[in-house]
Amino acid sequence: MATSTKPTRVHVVAGGFPRGSCAGHDIDYARLRILQLLQENESVMASVAGDFEDLDGWLPDSDLLVTYVAGPYPDGGQIEGVAEWLERGGRWLALHGTSGGRSVPMPDGRPGRMMSKARHHEVLGGFFLNHPPIRKFRVDVRDRDHPLTRGLPVSFEVIDELYLIELQAPAETRVLLTTSDLAGQDEAPRTFGFSYGKDTSVEPDGRTRVLGYVRGHGAGAVAYFALGHCHSPSTNIQPFVDASVDAAGTTPLHFHGPWETDAFERLLRNGVEWGLTARQAS
In Å, what is the CA distance from 99 to each residue of 134, 168, 219, 252? 18, 11, 22, 25
**For residue 72, which phi and psi values (nearest 5 degrees)?**
-60, 140
Domain covering 8-276, topology: Rossmann fold (3.40.50)
DSSP label at residue 6:
P
Beta strands 126-130; 113-115: pairing state: unpaired
- Residue 278 has a pLDDT of 61
> If you count them, how many residues does the chain have?
282
- Residue 118 has a pLDDT of 96
171 three-state secondary structure: helix
Report if pTM > 0.85: yes
- Residue 281 has a pLDDT of 40
In Å, what is the CA distance from 116 to each residue of 12, 28, 153, 198, 230? 24, 26, 35, 14, 24
- Residue 236 has a pLDDT of 97
Q: CA–CA separation, 135 vs 160, rounded Å?
A: 6
What secondary structure does DSSP assign to 100-125, as a single string?
Answer: ---EEE-TTS-SSEEE---HHHHHHT
- Residue 203 has a pLDDT of 94
Instruction: List the pLDDT tens digit at each of the 282 positions of the chain.
Output: 455 577 899 999 999 999 989 999 999 999 999 999 999 998 999 999 999 999 999 999 999 999 999 999 999 999 999 999 999 999 999 999 999 999 999 887 778 898 999 999 999 999 999 999 999 999 999 999 999 999 999 999 999 999 999 999 999 999 999 999 987 776 656 779 999 988 999 999 999 999 999 999 999 999 999 999 999 999 999 999 999 999 999 999 999 999 999 999 999 999 999 999 864 444
Domain ranges of the chain: 8-276
